[in-house]
Structure 1
Amino acid sequence: MRLSEFIALNVNRIVDEWEHFAKTITPAAHSMDSVSLRDHAKSILLAAARDMTKPQTPSEQAAKARGEGPEKTPSLDEAGASHGELRHNVGFDLVQMTSEFRHLRATVIRLWVGSLDSPNLAYFQDMIRFNEAIDEALAESTAAYAEQVNRSRDIFLAILGHDLRAPLQAVSMSTELLMRKTTLEGDALACASHIQRGTRHMAVMVSDLLELVRSRLGRSLPIEPAPMDMAEAAHAAIAEACAGNPECDPTLQVLGDARGNWDPGRIAQMLQNLIGNALQHGSNKRDVIVTLKGEPLSVRLTVHNFGIPIPEDAIATIFDPLVRNADEELGQPSTSLGLGLFIVKEVVDAHKGTIEVSSNEVEGTTFTVVLPKRT
């Protein structure tokens, strides 16, 4: 009997063994009934059996073995993906879920081989086709499981970031009130200033984390455009970046009309991150140059600094979240989440603008942003 026929005729017996094995996967299986334990096993087996009866050329078989097959089996993929999602939801870990497929494969081969009287070459081909089908189902289950893990993590981070805002605001407001109502001197004043700066930095990190989570959950950056002057925003961003740092003295050059219709809060966020990045990685905090050039339909912003150039192979991923920067590669600690340039790119995209970066040892590093005056 061919393997596809054997699976179709004995599917309930095979699923019984699947259920028996799934019961041993604890503690998740303790709270599951028979229907949950047998979840999608029958659908996966019958879809695999149907796939095995379809013609397949040697080249198609080789491509499928490499995971490159142009055609998938929709019913098999759907059952595998659903199984992966549900196993994640009931508490199986990834190793436990994949062990079900290993056991299913072994069970089917063992039962089928035990039923054979005189195997021939076609039977070995059946085994190959069955293994291919199970591997496809396993791949879909693993992908769906991983997606659920990522989504659960992102939701957790969103909740954490949201809940951190309230205590941070309480610390910030209490420090502000203390410094206004009480005359502090010496070490007490220094400690209060440290708390104030640390709280501000933590608030920025929490905000960046929430923007990352928003992006990963598939939500675009919301903006509320309004008339504003980017030159004024740049002055404010420089003052914010240099607060409490006497060595900080970037040069701001404004050419032409830098007014437009943008989201003031997002533009401030973009400027602070770009200027802060230049100050952090520049060799001299006084050599940072911020230039605004008003053009008829857009404003061109450049932020330039000298320092260790960005490696050419790193430029392609520099706007990706959580990318390690050059300082970290050199063993220098960083207090950043690595989200600053990612946020900059999100702000630029939300305003339908463009951003580019060039970097070499002679000319330094320049970030160039072009934003249309009306979004």
Structure 2
Amino acid sequence: MRLSDFIVKQVDRIVDEWESFASTLKPAADSMNTVELRDHAKSILLAAARDMNTAQTKAEQIAKAQGEELNKTPTLDEAASSHGELRHTVGFDLVQMTSEFRHLRATVIRFWVESLQVPDAASFQDMIRFNEAIDEALAESTMAYAERSSRSRDIFLAILGHDLRAPLQAVGMCSDVLMRKSGIDPSSLNYITRIKSSSLQMATMVGDLLGFVRSRLGVSLPVERQPMEMVIACRDAIDEASVGHPDCNPTFNYTGNTQGEWDRNRIDQLLRNLIGNALQHGASSHQINVALTGDDNHVTLTVHNEGEPIAEEAIGSIFDPLVRSANENVGIHNPSTSLGLGLFIVKEVVSAHGGSITVTSNIGDGTTFTVVLPKKA
């Protein structure tokens, strides 16, 4: 009997074996009923049998063996993808889920070989086609599982970041109140200032994390444009940076009309990250230069710092998420507290406003980030 026909005829017996094995995958299996344990096993097997009966050339067989998406079986992919999602939902780990396919493959081959009297050339071809189908199903299940796992992680990070904002705001407000009290000795004031600067750093990291997760979930950064003066935003960002870096000595120059319509919160996020990046990776003197130029339709912001240039091989990925500077020795004077999300968030804010950002970095000239933002949408 050909293997595809054997699978159709023995499908219930094979699925019984699947269920028996799945019930041993603890602890998730402890709370699952028969329907949940069997899940999409029957659909996967029947779709695999149909796939085995379709015509396939030698070239198509080679292409499929190399992982090319050629002559894939939609019903097999759908069943396998749903299986991966549901196994993640009920609590199977990835190793447990993939082990189900290993056991399924072994069970089918064992049952079929036991039924054969004399294997022929067609039997070996059947095994090749069956393995192809199971490999395709395994790949689809794994992909669906990984996507669901990634989304769950992102949602968790979003909730965590959201819930952290309230206590951080409380820490910042309390430090503000303490700093305004009279009669505080210099030592205590220094501690309060450190608490304030640390809470600002943490708030920046939480904001970056939320922006990153939002982009991972497929949602662009929302912007609410309101009339604002970019000069004021730059000054506030520089003042905030100076709180955490008392030895910071930034210069700020501006020319032209710098009023426009932007999202102030997002612009603050952009400025904090650009200035913070310059402080982190610039020379030990913390000397940075911020310049702002306005014309009729745009403003151009530049943030410049001296020091070790960005490595040439890193320029292309500097705005990617979770990328840290390749020059680890640069930040010795100011150990990094970033998540590797700062410049990614900057790029997202710029894109949300319909602007552009570029970077130049070389020995002698230092590093300069240039942001061009339209004044209106």
TM-score by length of 2: 0.94
| Cα displacement string for residues 88-117 of structure 1 (whole angstroms, at most 9, x for unaligned residues) | 111111101000000000011111111112
Task: In structure 2, list runs of 5 or more residues that go unmatched.
Answer: none
Name 2:19's counterpart in structure 1. Answer: 19
CA contact (8 A) 1:269 1:344 kept: yes
CA contact (8 A) 2:82 2:141 kept: yes
Quote the offset at 1:133 in angstroms: 0.7
3-state DSSP of counterpart to 1:316: helix
State the alpha-carbon separation in 2 of the partners of residues 231 and 100 from structure 1: 61
| Change beyond 3 A, Cα 1:329–1:47 | farther
Name 2:51's counterpart in structure 1. Answer: 51
Name 2:302's counterpart in structure 1. Answer: 302
CA contact (8 A) 1:205 1:336 kept: yes
3-state DSSP of counterpart to 2:292: strand
Name 1:39's counterpart in structure 2. Answer: 39
Name 2:95's counterpart in structure 1. Answer: 95
| Cα displacement string for residues 232-268 of structure 1 (whole angstroms, at most 9, x for unaligned residues) | 2222222221226343222223232222211112112
Aligned mate of 1:372, from 357, 364, 374 = 374
Task: In structure 1, list runs of 5 or more residues that go unmatched.
Answer: none
- 1:318 paired with 2:318, answer yes
3-state DSSP of counterpart to 2:180: helix
Q: 1:299 corresponds to which letter in structure 2? A: V
Name 1:348's counterpart in structure 2. Answer: 350
Quote the offset at 1:215 in angstroms: 1.5
CA contact (8 A) 1:43 1:76 kept: yes
Q: 1:183 corresponds to which letter in structure 2? A: G
CA contact (8 A) 1:279 1:285 kept: no
CA contact (8 A) 2:281 2:330 kept: no
| Change beyond 3 A, Cα 1:243–1:61 | same
User: What is the correspondence of 1:260-279 to structure 2 with a 5 Å cutoff?
Assistant: 260-279=260-279
State the alpha-carbon separation in 1 of the partners of residues 110 and 331 from structure 2: 55
Give the stretch that moved more between structures: 105-114 or 318-327. 318-327
Name 1:108's counterpart in structure 2. Answer: 108
Name 2:247's counterpart in structure 1. Answer: 247
Q: Percent identity?
A: 66
3-state DSSP of counterpart to 2:257: coil
State the alpha-carbon separation in 2 of the partners of residues 221 and 266 from structure 1: 9
State the alpha-carbon separation in 1 of the partners of residues 48 and 328 from structure 2: 49
Q: 1:291 corresponds to which letter in structure 2? A: A
State the alpha-carbon separation in 1 of the partners of residues 171 and 136 from structure 2: 53
3-state DSSP of counterpart to 2:243: coil
Name 2:193's counterpart in structure 1. Answer: 193
| Change beyond 3 A, Cα 1:180–1:335 | same
State the alpha-carbon separation in 2 of the partners of residues 182 and 253 from structure 1: 35
CA contact (8 A) 1:305 1:365 kept: yes
Q: 2:376 corresponds to which letter in structure 1? A: R
Name 1:338's counterpart in structure 2. Answer: 340
Q: 1:111 corresponds to which letter in structure 2? A: F
CA contact (8 A) 2:84 2:144 kept: yes
Say how many residue pairs are matched: 375
User: What is the correspondence of 1:13-162 to structure 2 with a 5 Å cutoff?
Assistant: 13-162=13-162
CA contact (8 A) 2:308 2:330 kept: no
Quote the offset at 1:285 in angstroms: 4.1
TM-score by length of 1: 0.95
CA contact (8 A) 1:328 1:334 kept: no
CA contact (8 A) 1:224 1:263 kept: yes
CA RMSD of aligned residues (A): 1.8
State the alpha-carbon separation in 2 of the partners of residues 179 and 287 from structure 1: 27
Aligned mate of 1:360, from 356, 359, 362 = 362
State the alpha-carbon separation in 1 of the partners of residues 193 and 243 from structure 2: 11
| Change beyond 3 A, Cα 1:249–1:329 | closer
State the alpha-carbon separation in 2 of the partners of residues 86 and 252 from structure 1: 55
State the alpha-carbon separation in 1 of the partners of residues 248 and 209 from structure 2: 26
